[in-house]
């Protein structure tokens, strides 16, 4: 059933003040007995106060994957991941087997488009949320998941939001549930830069909606899904332990960005790339040359942000207490890295992206990896 199409909001007269206060957070949703919610990531109290880093122990959980894009760990012990160019959702079972859950109908891959981000939240009925490129647009859907761990299948699909502009490049596509229970999504500028500053367009934005696809009453612009704007191609979203939202963003030719996201704020694109220091626009907390980053997935374990880098072929670790400082790991060792998310027991999950048209695949690519973390000296 189709629920919502793009909402065009006449907001030209709205004065946007950088650094607006985000909506207050509601209690974190608690998983019901079905256990399909994203898995918590237990970290010891000493580790959670420390800056974390890869310990040197990295395990391949799955290999031979085609253009993987997003991975989530479930409380059931299974992991689900998406393949951009095939539209497939795969399950890694608790005993280490990889199996097909199903193919998402309506996915039309091409360039950077296809089946992109996935997310899960228990709401009494197990649903998988997905962001994908269709024939005419990008859209956000939820899909009922049937069966049990080790035998999950995709059921009925419901479109929550359609009409997000699509293009061969700059589709965004990341999904994440906030501690307030709302679903957040990144949308790229779809190669039309002016859209990022247009509050009547869903492109070049971070969007926020209820799990049913409705516009929350406390969104910063009345009647609009837009949560923040002035983005080029954000592909990473993560919430830290305080409920603060962070986003990684691919720049054009000069600077890639890590942004601290606030409700209603303008992040400058296409007027500014990287730190601009201009009144009315929010600067990134850190920037990197595009050759060292081209960031995609973003994850939080303890009090450390981990940012996957495509062109940079490395993993960046950023201490949330000092977000302007970062350390690179696995430089050139894994190739392109598409996603980085919290895994079970305080580990980190990585998806490589070497079967992408821009990558050079090795004999076992692409891979899902689990990285053991330890306090950094």
Structure tokens at 70: 């997003």
Q: What is the pLDDT of residue 50?
A: 65
Query: Domain containing 137: what range?
Result: 45-375
Contact 108, 135 (CB under 8 A): yes
Tens digit of pLDDT for each residue in 78-109? 999 999 999 999 999 999 999 999 999 999 99
CA–CA distance, 362 with 358 (Å, rounded to integer): 13
Q: Indicate the pLDDT class of residue 377, thresholds 50, 70 and 90.
A: confident
Q: Indicate the pLDDT class of residue 12, thresholds 50, 70 and 90.
A: very low
Average pLDDT over residues 287-304: 97
With a cut of 90, say whether residue 38 has pLDDT above it: no
DSSP 113: B
Q: What is the pLDDT of residue 146?
A: 95
Q: What is the pLDDT of residue 177?
A: 97
R_g over Cα of the chain? 19
Q: What is the pLDDT of residue 28?
A: 28
Q: What is the pLDDT of residue 126?
A: 85
CA–CA distance, 271 with 258 (Å, rounded to integer): 17
Q: What is the pLDDT of residue 123?
A: 62
Average pLDDT over residues 44-70: 82
Tens digit of pLDDT for each residue in 243-254? 999 999 999 999
Q: What is the DSSP string of 132-150?
A: EE-SSSEEEEEEEEES-TT
- Quote the pTM value: 0.88
**Total domains, the chain:** 1
More confident site: 27 or 212: 212
* 367 part of a folded domain: yes
Distance of CA 215 to the CA centre of its chain: 20
* 341 part of a folded domain: yes
Tens digit of pLDDT for each residue in 300-322? 999 999 999 999 999 999 999 99
Q: What is the pLDDT of residue 37?
A: 58
Q: What is the pLDDT of residue 124?
A: 64
Q: To the nearest whole number, what is the mean pLDDT of the chain?
A: 89
More confident site: 40 or 314: 314
With a cut of 90, say whether residue 44 has pLDDT above it: no
With a cut of 70, say whether residue 25 has pLDDT above it: no
CA–CA distance, 262 with 272 (Å, rounded to integer): 18
With a cut of 50, say whether residue 47 has pLDDT above it: no
More confident site: 46 or 107: 107
Residue bearing tokens 């095939």: 86
Structure tokens at 308: 């996957």
CATH of the domain at 286: 2.120.10.30
* 184 part of a folded domain: yes
Residues of the chain above pLDDT 90, percent: 84
Q: What is the pLDDT of residue 34?
A: 38
Average pLDDT over residues 327-353: 98
CA–CA distance, 72 with 25 (Å, rounded to integer): 22
Average pLDDT over residues 45-71: 84
With a cut of 90, say whether residue 295 has pLDDT above it: yes
* 28 part of a folded domain: no
């Amino acid at each position: 059933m189709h629920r919502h199409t793009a909402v065009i909001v006449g907001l030209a007269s709205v004065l946007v003040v950088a650094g607006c206060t985000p909506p207050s957070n509601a209690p974190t949703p608690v998983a019901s007995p079905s256990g399909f919610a994203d898995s918590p990531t237990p970290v010891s109290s000493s580790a959670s106060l420390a800056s974390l880093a890869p310990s040197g122990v990295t395990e391949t959980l799955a290999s031979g994957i085609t253009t993987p894009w997003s991975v989530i760990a479930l409380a059931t012990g299974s992991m689900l991941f998406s393949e951009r160019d095939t539209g497939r959702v795969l399950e890694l079972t608790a005993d280490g087997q990889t199996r097909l859950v199903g193919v998402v109908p309506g996915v039309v891959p091409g360039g950077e488009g296809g089946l992109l981000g996935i997310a899960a939240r228990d709401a009494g009925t197990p649903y998988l949320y997905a962001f994908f490129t269709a024939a005419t647009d990008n859209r956000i859907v939820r899909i009922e998941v049937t069966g049990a761990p080790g035998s999950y299948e995709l059921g009925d699909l419901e479109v929550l939001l359609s009409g997000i502009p699509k293009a061969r490049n700059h589709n965004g596509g990341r999904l994440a549930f906030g501690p307030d229970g709302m679903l957040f999504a990144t949308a790229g500028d779809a190669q039309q830069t002016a859209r990022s500053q247009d509050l009547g367009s869903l492109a070049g934005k971070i969007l926020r909606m209820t799990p049913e696809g409705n516009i929350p009453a406390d969104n910063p612009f009345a009647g609009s899904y837009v949560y923040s704007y002035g983005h080029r191609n954000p592909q990473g979203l993560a919430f830290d332990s305080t409920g603060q939202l962070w986003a990684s963003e691919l720049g054009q030719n000069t600077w890639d960005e890590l942004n601290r996201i606030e409700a209603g704020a303008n992040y400058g694109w296409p007027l500014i790339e990287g730190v601009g220091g201009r009144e009315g626009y929010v600067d990134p907390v850190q920037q990197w040359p595009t050759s060292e980053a081209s960031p995609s997935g973003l994850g939080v374990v303890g009090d450390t942000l981990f940012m996957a880098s495509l062109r940079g072929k490395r993993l960046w670790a950023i201490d949330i207490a000092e977000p302007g400082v970062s350390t690179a790991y696995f430089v050139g060792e894994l190739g392109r890295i598409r996603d980085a998310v919290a895994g079970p027991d305080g580990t980190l999950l990585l998806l490589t992206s070497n079967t992408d048209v821009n990558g050079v695949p090795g004999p076992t690519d692409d891979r899902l990896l689990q990285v053991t973390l330890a306090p950094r000296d």
